[in-house]
Amino acid sequence: MTHSFNLQGKVALVTGANTGLGQGIALALAEAGADIAAAGISAPTETEQKVRALGRRFVAIEADLSSLEPIDRVVRGTIDGLGGLDILVNNAGLIRRADAVDFTEKDWDDVMNVNIKGAFFMAQAAGRHMIANGYGKIINIASMLSFQGGIRVPSYTASKSGIAGITRLLANEWASKGININAIAPGYMATDNTAMLRADEKRSSEILGRIPAGRWGDPSDLGGAAVFLASRASDYVNGAVIPVDGGWLAR
């Protein structure tokens, strides 16, 4: 079965790959054989070094993904720089925290523009290329809040619920065209986005108390699911949202 997970010769575009979950996913795809294009507002210097150390090609594309303007340029830059586009990982995301009664329009719009609007139109741009080729893998990054309500993150909850919805919608429309569209829902991961939670001793203890695995996740924990969904091994998987959560949802 190992050949089914081999990504040799494939090109993956990963948004927000400079740190955290995006970096972990990019490295897992590179280890499986894929060349990597990374798009985001920050230079993915460390990610590039690690991908190249694995013997894979790497292209960095600077883009502010809070706007739709750079999306076609990102897709074209991937194709021109690496010779194709087989895999898209919609990972770029924002989170803003405040009580719902105080939540601002700006915090709503900033998060929604990147997390759901940007993800949909990135999938659309990549999808046009993939449909023309009759093959492609799109992996959206969902969340535990694709299933639950959470607290103090109204726009994040709305956007990640939306990610689950558009994953299913795109699967319905594009599965017959040779495109697999699925999502990974990370649990509580040790990233910049959760730094405040981990620093809050009481909240961190509450979170860990509900995770059967007994620890915060590491970005590398997403690697197996990402490689599976990016590879031929998942050719009959469409519209799924796969939790990688240490058992959080089972509790």
> How confident is the model over 74-125, as pLDDT tens digits?
999 999 999 999 999 999 999 999 999 999 999 999 999 999 999 999 999 9
d(CA 227, CA 2): 11
Cα 58 to chain centroid distance, Å, stands at 18
- For residues 22-43, give the mean pLDDT: 97
Task: Give yes or no for a contact between 130 and 172, defined as CB atoms under 8 angstroms apart.
Answer: no
pLDDT at 157: 98
Provide the pLDDT for residue 196. 86
Residues 152, 100: contact at Cβ < 8 Å? yes
Q: Which of 135, 156, 188, 236 is catalytic?
A: 156
- Mean predicted lDDT score pLDDT of the chain: 97
Euclidean distance between CA atoms 199 and 185, whole angstroms: 23
Core vs surface per residue 186-203: b (16+ CB within 10 A) or e: bbbbbbebbeeeeeeeee
Nearest to 182 by CA among 198, 192, 171: 171
Give the pLDDT band of residue 202 (cuts 50, 70, 90). Answer: very high
Taking the CA atoms of 182, 116, 186 and 75 in sequence, report the sign of the dihedral they define: positive
Mean pLDDT of 232-245: 98
Nearest to 160 by CA among 188, 178, 183: 183
Is 236 known to be catalytic? Answer: no
pLDDT of 142-152, one tens digit each?
999 999 999 99
Q: What does the alpha-carbon distance between residue 240 and residue 137 come to, in Å, rounded to a whole number? A: 13
Predicted TM-score of the model (pTM): 0.97
Domains and CATH numbers, the chain: 2-245 (3.40.50.720)
Identify the pLDDT of residue 126.
Answer: 98
Sign of CA dihedral 49, 118, 249, 87: negative
Q: DSSP letter at 250?
A: G
Q: What is residue 69's predicted lDDT score, i.e. its pLDDT? A: 97
Is residue 227 scored above 90 in pLDDT? yes
Distances (CA, A) of 216 to 123, 209, 220: 29, 11, 12
Contacts of 206 (CB under 8 A, 6+ apart): none
What are the Cα distances from residue 212, in Å, to 143, 193, 200? 17, 22, 20
Residue reference for tokens 């490295």: 27
The pairing of beta strand 87-90 with beta strand 58-62: unpaired
pLDDT recorded at residue 88: 99
Mean pLDDT within 13-40: 98
Asked if 155 contacts 108 with a C-beta cutoff of 8 angstroms, the reply is yes
Band of pLDDT at residue 1, cut at 50, 70 and 90 = low
Whether pLDDT at 41 is above 80:
yes
